[in-house]
A and B are shown apart, each in its own frame.
Chain A
Amino acid sequence: MPIRRRAFLTLAVLVLLALASFWAALAAGSIPVAAGDVLAALLGQEAPGSDIVRQLRLPRALAGFACGGLLALAGALMQVLLRNPLADPYILGISGGAGVGALFAIMIGLPALGIDGLAFAGALGAMLLVFGLAHGDGSWTQTRLLLTGVIVAAGCGALISLMLAIAPEDRLRGMLFWLSGDLGQAASAWPPLIALVVALALAMPFARELNLLARGLLQAQALGVAVDRLRYAIFLLASLATAASVTTAGSIGFIGLVVPHLIRLVTGNDQRLLLPASAVAGGALLMLADTLARTLIAPQQLPVGVLTALIGVPVFLFLLSRQAR
């Protein structure tokens, strides 16, 4: 079937882009490393700069790929769950909850592990709160879910402002960096990488059912989708994926909203292609943005969220204007 072959071709192209972005993340920096030396470092041989590549740049690049992939995947899932193109991974308050936890941990001076732990706990707390409130009377409509999420997110935003206002001066910079998203704080790349693989593996079997869910709840149910069960599962999956990413690297904006739309503009809205393609493209974009954030005005680092937006907005607008014609 040509549709399927085209899907694999698209994925192959995106994987190549991700590899290029990965290579750039390893080679570029305040100390450039030659292509041959990067390869040597990856193969475990000693070469000039191999310590920098292996110990500094490789974990950071992998964490960037994993977080970008998780955010884009969660964004795509949230957009289908809420049937709303404006949905992103943070719309239901997951990042707000994580932010409250992380900032509280920074404010009282907990170590890195404590910050991650409280961030994850905050994300889970926000998720359970939204789930419980939205599900309260059993109706669980998209509007109710969306409203509950937005209100919880607003509440978290107020708590975050409060903590920023009363925090001691010397902690403020760390708190602000956490809020705008920073891959430098990633302790290990493995937890988000494993989360990405697991989330994608859990979502893919339901991809065709998600196509139907996008067309309406009754429509999907009439065509044989167990709608309620699927929606609970997608809500949990998207929330946990977001929590894993936010815990690792703070709330990096833009990827989760724009990458699924970018892929959709190029390939259409078949979730069987959209979900894996978004994950790969989100990872590639975040790695690239983080490399630029490290190198543009090195040794000073820019917040990576600024660069994801600076790259994403023009590309997105270009594709949008091209499609309108």
Chain B
Amino acid sequence: MSTPLLTAAGLSVEIGGRCVARSLDLSVASGQRLAILGRNGAGKSTLLATLAGLRAPAGGMIELGGTPYAALSPREAALRRAWLGQTLADPFGSTVLETALTGRHPHLGRWDWESTRDADLARSALAAVGLAGMEDRQIHTLSGGERQRLSIATLLTQAAPLYLLDEPLAHLDLNHQMAVLDMFAGAARDCGAGVVMVLHDPALAHRFCDQALLIDGEGDCELGAVDTILTAEKLSALYGYRLRQFEYNGQRCFVPD
């Protein structure tokens, strides 16, 4: 088997003196999809940013394709993993196309300007998230859902083999939620991408991922296949609210009691 896209061993993550994860081991291979679930404030975003190399772990090590972050320049890391953050803002204003083109940055040399090929890539990424024809709009005129899709398009132009997605469904309507999840599932299936995403819906996590990581906010994490991890019992304990579990056509759904 080839080297996993992402490996964490003995990983400890802390924020504000609180432990988010304690000696966590995980790996994401090509084609694998991992969902991270937990309550608000449990540290899902902090863990994801740590996995993306954007903040230092309190202990343990993280490797991208077998190389630790310390041995990678920021640009090399950007060619190996793409990170979707929770906000998109530019105090000076910029257009949708300019924003999508920023994903090409790690692929360009210091003096290069974006080529017509880069612009074509950006346009097709915008079309893939349903933003075709909006290239010249200023981003502050977009709705929350459109901004989220623009962030995802930027991620696609970055064309890294590993996607780290912090709440990719935020602000999206039902139609676009399914389209986005289908797109990343397709990238994993057809292009061998690895996907790690923070989700709030256990049913969607069960349907679109093969591993799930539950973090309880006290440092304890539980990782395993979705079938064994995403159960009414474990999820009720995780969220502190009783859930019932139903099966329908092989899909699992959870209903609050």
Contact assessment for A221 and B90 in the assembled complex, using a CB-CB cutoff below 8 Å:
no
Interface residue? A215 (CB, 8 A): yes
Residues of B close to A209: CB separation below 8 A: 105
**Of A1, A218, A268, which contacts B116 at CB under 8 A?**
A1
Residues of A close to B78: CB separation below 8 A: 222-224
Residues of B close to A212: CB separation below 8 A: 102, 105
Interface residue? A109 (CB, 8 A): no
Interface residue? B202 (CB, 8 A): no
Interface residue? A161 (CB, 8 A): no
**Of B52, B77, B105, which contacts A208 at CB under 8 A?**
B105
Interface residue? A211 (CB, 8 A): yes
0/1 string, A204-226, CB within 8 A of B gives 1:
01001101101110110111111
Identify which of B21-29, B81-89, B180-188, B241-249 touches chain A. Answer: B81-89
Cβ distance B100 to chain A, nearest Cβ, rounded Å: 12
Interface residue? B133 (CB, 8 A): no
**Of A4, A222, A272, which contacts B85 at CB under 8 A?**
A222
Known contacts A216-B87, A224-B79; A269/B116 CB under 8 A = no
Residues of B close to A223: CB separation below 8 A: 78, 102-103, 105-106, 158
Report the separation of the CA atoms of residues A264 and B91 in the bound assembly, to the nearest whole angstrom.
12
Interface residue? B170 (CB, 8 A): no
Residues of B close to A83: CB separation below 8 A: 91
Report the separation of the CA atoms of residues A65 and B116 in the bound assembly, to the nearest whole angstrom.
36
Contact assessment for A269 and B92 in the assembled complex, using a CB-CB cutoff below 8 Å:
yes
Residues of A close to B102: CB separation below 8 A: 211-212, 215, 223
0/1 string, A3-45, CB within 8 A of B gives 1:
1100000000000000000000000000000000000000000
Q: Which of B75, B88, B91 gathers most chain A CB within 10 Å?
A: B91
Identify which of B60-68, B107-115, B189-197, B220-228 touches chain A. Answer: B107-115
Residues of B close to A218: CB separation below 8 A: 49, 54, 83, 85
Interface residue? A270 (CB, 8 A): yes
Residues of B close to A226: CB separation below 8 A: 73-74
Residues of A close to B10: CB separation below 8 A: none
Contact assessment for A85 and B92 in the assembled complex, using a CB-CB cutoff below 8 Å:
yes
Interface residue? B94 (CB, 8 A): yes
Residues of B close to A227: CB separation below 8 A: 74
Contact assessment for B92 and A264 in the assembled complex, using a CB-CB cutoff below 8 Å:
yes
B106 (CB) vs chain A CBs: closest residue: A224
Contact assessment for A1 and B83 in the assembled complex, using a CB-CB cutoff below 8 Å:
no
Contact assessment for A222 and B83 in the assembled complex, using a CB-CB cutoff below 8 Å:
yes
A224 (CB) vs chain B CBs: closest residue: B78
Residues of B close to A219: CB separation below 8 A: 85, 88
Contact assessment for B85 and A216 in the assembled complex, using a CB-CB cutoff below 8 Å:
yes
Interface residue? A278 (CB, 8 A): no
Report the separation of the CA atoms of residues A270 and B113 in the bound assembly, to the nearest whole angstrom.
11
Residues of A close to B94: CB separation below 8 A: 215, 268-269
Cβ distance B57 to chain A, nearest Cβ, rounded Å: 15
Report the separation of the CA atoms of residues A221 and B82 in the bound assembly, to the nearest whole angstrom.
11
Known contacts A221-B54, A226-B73; A214/B90 CB under 8 A = yes
Report the separation of the CA atoms of residues A222 and B164 in the bound assembly, to the nearest whole angstrom.
10
Residues of B close to A272: CB separation below 8 A: 113
A-side residues, CB < 8 A to B, are 1, 3-4, 79, 83-85, 205, 208-209, 211-212, 214-216, 218-219, 221-227, 264, 268-270, 272
Besides the contacts A215-B88, A223-B105, A224-B76, what 17 more A-B pairs have beta carbons closer than 8 Å? A1-B113, A3-B113, A4-B113, A205-B110, A208-B105, A215-B89, A215-B102, A216-B85, A218-B54, A218-B83, A218-B85, A223-B106, A224-B78, A264-B92, A269-B92, A269-B93, A270-B98
Can you offer 19 A-B residue contacts whose CB atoms are under 8 A?
A1-B116, A1-B119, A3-B113, A83-B91, A84-B91, A208-B110, A209-B105, A214-B90, A214-B91, A215-B99, A216-B87, A222-B52, A222-B78, A223-B78, A223-B102, A223-B106, A224-B76, A224-B79, A224-B105
7 pairs of A and B residues whose beta carbons are closest in the complex: A224-B78, A224-B75, A224-B106, A222-B83, A269-B92, A224-B74, A223-B105
